[in-house]
Structure 1
Amino acid sequence: VCIKTEEKNGQSNRKFVMLSIVVEHIFLLVIVTLISVLQNAFFATKVEREGKEHNNKTAFERVSCANRNCMDSYPTFLAVMWCAGLCLNQAPAAFAGIIYLVARQKYFVGYMGQTSQSTPGFLFGKRVLAFLILMCIVGIFNFLLVRYLGNDYKDTMETITNAASALLLIP
């Protein structure tokens, strides 16, 4: 979609309008991604702080292991959140992303205590990732339906995912 303007610099203004339309469809995903980067920085700082305290090697090993585990699942989280947001709807994908970050924080903090305290955060995070993967599959399936059969169920799918994303709050 491009909007014509009457300014002397019309070409660059059309590009700005196009860019703002694109940003409008991804800004929630961008915000969640930036929050996740800040969370990664927090985790790294915690590992560094524990590493400087040489008197408690067990605490450092736990924090370091929790950080590694979080970083192992990080690319998967980003990929499915962005895929779900672009293929279907950014609002429930971003909401699920925030819930995932809360679950990851719970996992990290729980891992610093006893390992069994991290289990609820781990299981909750898996459920959120499963929801995002399901959103990706539905979005891709809808694209294929539109492309090859001419049937578009995106509005219905968006309504269902908006309602289903609230179910992620149930522990």
Structure 2
Amino acid sequence: MDADIMENIFLLVLVTLLSVVQNAFFALKVEKECKSQNTKAAAFERLSCAKRNCMDTYPTFLAIMWCAGLCLSQAPAAFAGAVYLFARQKYFVGYMGQTCQSTPGYLFGKRMLSFLFLMCVVGIVNFLLGQYCGSDYKEYIQTITKTLSPLLLIP
């Protein structure tokens, strides 16, 4: 693979691989709970539901993270993706306890997905402006997103 291409997608690939490892962790936790001799039906159902909820949003997460990284800027998209994985872990672990403990992880993950979606839209609009109007604001927008991405950590 060309070094320039790899340099432009390396962080996105890294976050994607971390998400695959996290999915494997979720699957192992559900399998372990299923095989447990003293398993309670409610605990297994909560764990299974948490995994299913995480898997439902996984394609959306991957699509908008890659779109944001390719259309606008790799570093903020990968950062938001990594924070999303942390929020998803918090959601999953919170769901293992009481369902209400998963709410902070859910809301934080929703914020990361919204930021990534906004990055996608801005990147596409900037591309269209460059194609049809001849004005390219990509450097300014990248500076703004790199500056704002750490602010996503504020609760």
The TM-score, its normalising length taken from structure 2, stands at: 0.98
Select 2:9's aligned residue among 18, 26, 40.
26
2:88 alignment partner in structure 1: 104
Q: Following the alignment from structure 2 to structure 1, what is the Cα–Cα distance between the partners of residues 84 and 131? A: 32
Q: Give the match for residue 46 of structure 1.
A: 29
Matched, 1:60 2:40: no
Residue 128 of structure 2 aligns with which residue?
144
- Deviation of 1:54 (Å): 4.4
Aligned length: 154
Give distance in 2, aligned partners of 1:38 and 1:170: 26
Q: Which runs of 4+ in 1 moved over 6 A?
A: none
C-alpha separation between the residues in 2 aligned to 1:25 and 1:98? 17
The gaps in structure 2 that reach 5 residues or longer are none
Distance 2:105 2:8 in 1: 30
2:152 aligns to what?
A: 168
% same residue: 71
The structure whose Rg is larger is: 1
What corresponds to 1:35 in structure 2? 18
* CA RMSD of superposed structures (Å): 0.8
TM-score for both structures, normalised by structure 1:
0.89
Give the unaligned 5+ runs of structure 1: 1-15
| Pairwise CA distance, 1:59 | 1.0
What one-letter code is carried by the residue in structure 2 that aligns with 1:40? Answer: N
2: CA distance, partners of 1:164 / 1:74: 24
1:117 aligns with 2:101: yes
Bigger relative CO (Cα 8 Å, ≥ 6 apart) = 2
User: What is the distance in 2 between the residues matched to 1:26 and 1:81?
Assistant: 11
Distance (whole Å) between structure 2 residues aligned to residue 24 and residue 168 of structure 1? 25
